Structure 1
Amino acid sequence: MKAVIHRRNGGPEVLELVDRDLPSPGPGEVRVRVAVSGVNPTDVQARSGVARAGNFPEITPHHDGAGTVDAVGAGVDPGRVGRRVWLFMAAAGRPTGTAAEFTVVPAERAVPLPDGAGLDVGAALGVPALTAHRALTVAEDGPRRLRPGALRDRVVLAAGGAGAVGHAVIQLARWAGATVISTVSGPEKARLAGAAGAHHVVNYREGDPAGAIRDIAPDGVDVITEVALGANLELDLAVLRPRGTISTYANDGGRPVDLDVRRNMVLNARLQFLVLYTAGPRVLAAAVEDVTAAVADGALPVGEEHGLPLSRFPLDRTADAHRAVEGGAVGKILIDVTA
């Protein structure tokens, strides 16, 4: 089979297309013929060495993807063979990600893809959708699970709604019944956030964004999902309601966070940091179940018309796909692994 690997950390040039033997699934594992592999910033960070990727002689990158179960190991229902699946955290603690024609993963990381959902949808779930679910379910006064109506009468602010996680936040929050506001940096990203389903879009670079958000939510925002905490904390605190939650999954731009302790105390604010690797198995299992239900309801479509443009690369141009992510490409980067 064809696979992309890297034997050391570094720039995209460390990625190689190689021939490898077909892997065999062990007990509790499945082998998946990968159709589409999704690329996330965390995959780029693991390759570069910013994030730990594990101590393996060689690594096939990428956590997310979609394809068809091709074989199962001992203890796994053989009826799963031939089923379409979406993959998550394929390369977490393992050297076998989705940038290959076949990959082997624990059976629970290959999730049945609902009928009617395309493989592109499946490959775009994983890190973005599970992160969005976690960000929406950590509030003190909020639900731990998502379903239609779970966020009724709540206001969610999705910072960076044109990004992959922000896009998933908008879609999941709207599916769960929230009023969704998104902040963006310009008109093109505003168009994408609106296409994703945001009820209100605010350009944080113009006018009085805090005032605009307060006009929509006079009592304040219940949950803010934050991609650039250092840059946006002042705005977040200006619009957060008492006992509200800021769920932060990144700090784009790297600006240091200057925390006004008393101001946060007065608000009884909850500042929740999150990353999937240490979220725990119960949290991940609940997120997988809820995200799959949302997909079955048609709530997580992808593509330009749904606010998430897709950029595609063949497997032998995986390095170019990584360069696109590093360059800040808007939307989702996909690798077409098999025709």
Structure 2
Amino acid sequence: MVRRVVYESPGTPADVLRVQSGGEPASPGSGQLLVRVTTFPIHPGDLMAIESADANALRVAGVEATGIVEAVGAGVVKPGVDVGSRVTVFLHPGAWSEYLTVPSEFAVPVPDGVGTDVAAMMLVNPLTVVMLRRAVEATGAAGYNGVFLQSAAGSSVGRLMTAAAEHHGMALVNLVRTDEGADRLKHSFPATPVVATSRPNWPHDVRTLVAGRPLTAALDPVGGRLAGDLLGLLSPGGTLITYGALAKQPIALHAATLLGNALTVRGVTINRWVATTSPEQRDWDVTTAVAIAEALGNAFVVAGRYPVADIAAAADHAVRPGKTGTVLVEFD
């Protein structure tokens, strides 16, 4: 019997997700793999999809999971992929299933030095970092004495972005909500300044750290009032790069903020990356994401680990304020 994490209607993930059992694993067809999933991550985007589903229909949740190849269909010729190989399945709707029959191009081999925890987070978050770094570089914030900001810096993507910025010598100021979160992030990344937005005059603290250098980009997965505050900190011609919508409120923005400073608001998502990036660029970006997993494994933090039977508790933990890292769920 195959277990799957499903939902039948939109709503709060902890309320609507359940484990369904039934059927047997499907044999792979031509060009396909049968993968036995061991672990999957809960990303903010997964939860947003559950909350905003547009119809009442049974769906299997998730887009990323890691596991073992159980069978290989005819015509599959892919280095590192054979029965017994470890792979991470990426951008496959319904990935939170104990067995997946997927096209081989959806499966990325896991390098020998990458553990199961990192393998479960190997693609979505690092690919997001690849996209964000490319967007930051396009603004001129990288190099030429430029600085960029990022909010939610204690998140999984935020920590990876910090590690990448330090690795490549990019000047960054991190933002987190609380002093406690700032202390945790400083412990992991002592070379990168961090400001707590709970402080009453935190924008002044940011300006002091920037010290007059051009601040031409800000990365933000939150939205709402915070995004408006970030726009107010940008130098003329700067860009707010938004890649999430954790806040329920719309971005607070007065037209004068844009008109007076020629600012830009730009959205970045994995789905748009898939839709607009050439196959060659996607292959290169996936290779880069795997290299990030190999080189920066210590930046991949597990916030909590749950058996699939406790999916509601796992989903609740994934949205807990102050969470550091990614919640993982295991098929035991």
1:115-134 to structure 2, matched below 5 A, reads 115-134=112-131
Q: Tell me by how many angstroms 1:88 deviates.
A: 2.0
User: What CA distance in whole angstroms lies between the structure 2 residues aligned with 1:291 and 1:153?
Assistant: 27
Q: d(CA) in 2 for partners of 1:285 and 1:189?
A: 35
* Structure 2 residue aligned with 1:171: 163
Alignment-mate amino acid for residue 138 of structure 1:
A
Shift of residue 170 of structure 1? 1.9
Q: Distance in 2 between matches of 1:219 and 1:301?
A: 30
Cα distance 1:25–1:329, how it changes in 2: closer, same or farther (>3 A)?
A: farther
Which residue in 1 is equivalent to 2:312? Answer: 319
- Partners of 1:71 and 1:142 lie apart in 2 by 46
276-285 or 112-121, larger mean C-alpha shift? 276-285
Paired position in structure 2 for 1:27: 30
Task: Name the stretch that deviates more: 175-184 or 70-79.
Answer: 70-79
Q: Does 1:159 align with 2:151?
A: yes
Alignment size in residue pairs = 319
Task: Measure how far apart 1:139 and its partner are.
Answer: 4.2
Change in CA separation of 1:139 and 1:117 when aligned onto 2, cut-off 3 Å: same
**Contact kept? 1:138, 1:272, Cα under 8 Å:** no
1:154-200 per-position Cα deviation (integer Å, ceiling 9, x unaligned):
52312011122322322333333312221111122113333453601
Pairwise CA distance, 1:272: 0.9
1:13 CA drift (Å): 4.5
Distance 1:69 1:177, change over 3 A: farther
Quote how far apart the aligned CAs of 1:286 are.
4.0
For the Cα contact (< 8 Å) 2:147–2:216, is it kept in 1?
yes
Query: Contact conserved, 2:5 with 2:18, CA < 8 A, in 1?
Result: yes
Answer whether contact 1:223 1:246 (CA < 8 A) is retained. yes
Distance 1:110 1:199, change over 3 A: same
Q: Aligned partners of 2:114, 2:186: CA distance in 1, in Å?
A: 22
Shift of 1:273: 1.0
Question: Which ranges of structure 1 fall in alignment gaps of 5 or more residues?
Answer: 144-149
Classify the secondary structure of the residue corresponding to 1:252.
coil
Superposition deviation, residue 140 in structure 1: 6.9
**Is the alpha carbon distance of 1:64 and 1:271 closer, same or farther for their aligned partners in structure 2, counting shifts above 3 Å?**
same
Alignment of 1:1-339 (within 5 A): 1-6=1-6, 8-9=8-9, 10-11=11-12, 12-48=15-51, 50-51=52-53, 58-77=58-77, 80-81=81-82, 82-91=84-93, 96-97=94-95, 99-139=96-136, 141-142=138-139, 154-197=146-189, 199-217=192-210, 218-279=212-273, 280=275, 281-282=277-278, 284-296=282-294, 298-302=295-299, 308-328=301-321, 330=323, 331-338=325-332
Write out per-residue CA displacement over residues 253-305 of structure 1, whole angstroms, 9 at most, x where no aligned residue: 22222333343244332311122222224364443222112223x224356xx
Question: Matches of 2:321 and 2:23 in 1, distance apart?
Answer: 32
- CA displacement 1:137-166 (0-9 Å, x = unmatched): 1247359xxxxxx86855231201112232
CA contact (8 A) 2:42 2:315 kept: yes
Determine what percentage of the aligned residue pairs are the same residue: 24
RMSD: 2.8
Residue 6 of structure 1 contacts residue 15 of structure 1 at CA under 8 Å; is this kept in 2? yes
Between the aligned partners of 2:137 and 2:169, the Cα distance in structure 1 is: 18
Shift in CA distance, 129/7, structure 1 to aligned 2, threshold 3 Å: same
Task: Please give the alpha-carbon distance, in whole angstroms, between the structure 2 residues aligned to 1:192 and 1:80.
Answer: 38
In structure 2, the residue corresponding to 1:42 is in which secondary structure?
helix
CA contact (8 A) 1:3 1:60 kept: no
Structure 2 contact 126–293 (Cα < 8 Å) conserved: no
Check conservation: 2:123, 2:289, Cα contact below 8 A: no
2:146–2:213: 8 Å Cα contact kept in structure 1?
A: no
Aligned letter for 1:252? Answer: L
Amino acid at match of 1:106: P
